[in-house]
Amino acid sequence: MATAAIGSARAAEPPLKIGLLEDVSGDLAFMGMPKLHGSQLAVEEINKSGGILGRQIELIHLDPQGDNARYQEFGRRLLNRDKVDVLIGGITSASREALRPIVDRTTTPYFYTNQYEGGVCDASMISMGAVPEQQFSTLIPWMVQKFGKKVYVIAADYNFGQISAEWNRKIMKDLGGEVVGEEFIPLGVSQFAQTIQNIQKAKPDWLLTINVGAAQDSFFEQAAAANLNLPMGSSIKVMLGFEHKRFKPPALNNMHATANWFEEIDTPEANDFKKRWHAKFPDELYINDMGYNAYNALYMYKTLVEKAKSTKLEDMRKVIASGDACIDAPEGKVCIDPKSQHTSHRMRLISVGPKHEVTVEKDYGTIQPYWLGEIGCDLTKKNDKDQYTPSHLPNKS
């Protein structure tokens, strides 16, 4: 009798509000749609199993349509007007950097669910995706060993592309390799005949492709049509943009990437997850890495709130600082690193074959997001609110 009374009192509590900003229209919609779906699946599952701390959760999704100004406007609306308990979302690093100052002025936690170029040391932000020490530090040495020391980079011309290219320069230098060309391409450019000639002139052993968005992805079809035929490596292709599903084979042949998630993972946990997803969204072309991370973000939020017995960022960060912020994700156990608030991941190197079949070349096991901690970011002691890169390190004091 008493428990029933408590139960109904709890149910009367208002739901927890989850503010979600994901692009489901515009140039990046094909990647953003799985992010919305992943969030919806997690919300449905969590609500069915009794919610968070006995409270139901409510998803408030707005579509910023790939526009950074709209990200800021909608972010403010969710934080100030709707008073959401947590903010999740953002696709490009540009959208994340647009949101971060707005979140920093509040006490609301912000989950960024993409893999990215790394380096953000900010107590308001919890990063669920993989970062360069998990992606580039595994991929680039493997590419150099397998294909050779000369690389040509094509990258989207904004912070993600620029900083990722910087990571590549640093790692190539450490390996004694050579960057024979770098091309930064404005978003929206779709014609690559000139780029393909430039690559052939520079004669690289392999390509690093960190081009972003549907327009820039036209590169693959055009390179295949011109018979460019070079091995390619990437931190975002296949698992994130599922180019191997969108282009006719063999456009993505000989593409290599390191990923914490890709739909072809074949383990009982992953298969169970894929089954639940496809039951809810039968038309999904591919469960991409950021959709998967978006799903995990809600479970990580649930774990943090329940361990902290509070929805306050301060209390949740105490759980993170204890090193005990872990969930059993479909890839295996992942934990938030206390110093950087980034997530550990089990990383695998995957390759795409001529028929666009995906094979796992190498399993690196769990890799910690160690870089920020090593260079001196320690969010348990100090909130930097800054983004660091190999050429922009914290002042030692």
User: Does 246 sit near other proteins (CB under 8 A)?
Assistant: yes
Least separation in angstroms between residue 286's CB and other proteins is: 9
| Binding window for other proteins (CB under 8 A); candidates: 111-119, 219-227, 263-271, 368-376 | 219-227
Nearer Cβ to other proteins, position 214 or 321? 214
Burial grade of 127 (CB within 10 A; 0-12, 13-18, 19 or more): buried
Interacting positions 156-175 with other proteins (CB under 8 A):
157
Nearer Cβ to other proteins, position 117 or 183? 183
User: Does 230 sit near other proteins (CB under 8 A)?
Assistant: no
User: Does 201 sit near other proteins (CB under 8 A)?
Assistant: yes
* 237: DSSP letter: T
CB 14 within 8 A of CB 267: no
Residues near 101 by Cβ (< 8 Å), separated by ≥ 6? none
User: Does 392 sit near other proteins (CB under 8 A)?
Assistant: no
Nearer Cβ to other proteins, position 51 or 66? 66
Nearer Cβ to other proteins, position 107 or 190? 190
Mind giving me the DSSP string for 194-217?
Answer: HHHHHHHHH--SEEEEE--HHHHH
Q: How many residues bind other proteins (CB under 8 A)?
A: 44
Nearer Cβ to other proteins, position 183 or 337? 183
List the one residue from 16, 30, 114, 121 that touches other proteins (CB under 8 A).
30
Between helices 268-280 and 289-308, what is the axis angle to 10°? Answer: 100
Residue pointed to by tokens 């063999």: 250
Q: Alpha-carbon distance 41 to 349, whole Å?
A: 27
* 81: DSSP letter: I
CB 273 within 8 A of CB 330: yes
Q: Is 223 helix (H, G, I), strand (E, B) or coil?
A: helix
User: Does 133 sit near other proteins (CB under 8 A)?
Assistant: no
Nearest residue to 261 (alpha-carbon basis) of 336, 347, 357? 347
Nearest-5° Cα angle at 380, 374 to 386: 65
Q: Is 287 helix (H, G, I), strand (E, B) or coil?
A: coil
Q: What share of the chain is helix, strand, coil (3-state, %, to 5)?
A: 40, 20, 35
User: Does 29 sit near other proteins (CB under 8 A)?
Assistant: yes
Q: φ, ψ for residue 176 (rounded to 5)?
A: 75, 25
List the one residue from 7, 101, 186, 323 that touches other proteins (CB under 8 A).
186
List the one residue from 48, 283, 365, 391 that touches other proteins (CB under 8 A).
283
User: Does 252 sit near other proteins (CB under 8 A)?
Assistant: no
| Binding window for other proteins (CB under 8 A); candidates: 109-117, 244-252, 267-275, 307-315 | 244-252
List the one residue from 221, 315, 378, 384 that touches other proteins (CB under 8 A).
221
Q: φ, ψ for residue 209 (rounded to 5)?
A: -105, 105
Nearer Cβ to other proteins, position 11 or 285? 285
Interacting positions 284-303 with other proteins (CB under 8 A):
285
Q: Alpha-carbon distance 390 to 388, whole Å?
A: 7
Least separation in angstroms between residue 197's CB and other proteins is: 6
Chain contacts with other proteins (rule: CB under 8 A):
24-27, 29-30, 32-33, 157, 183-186, 188-191, 193-195, 197-198, 200-201, 203, 214-215, 217-218, 221-222, 224-229, 245-248, 251, 283, 285
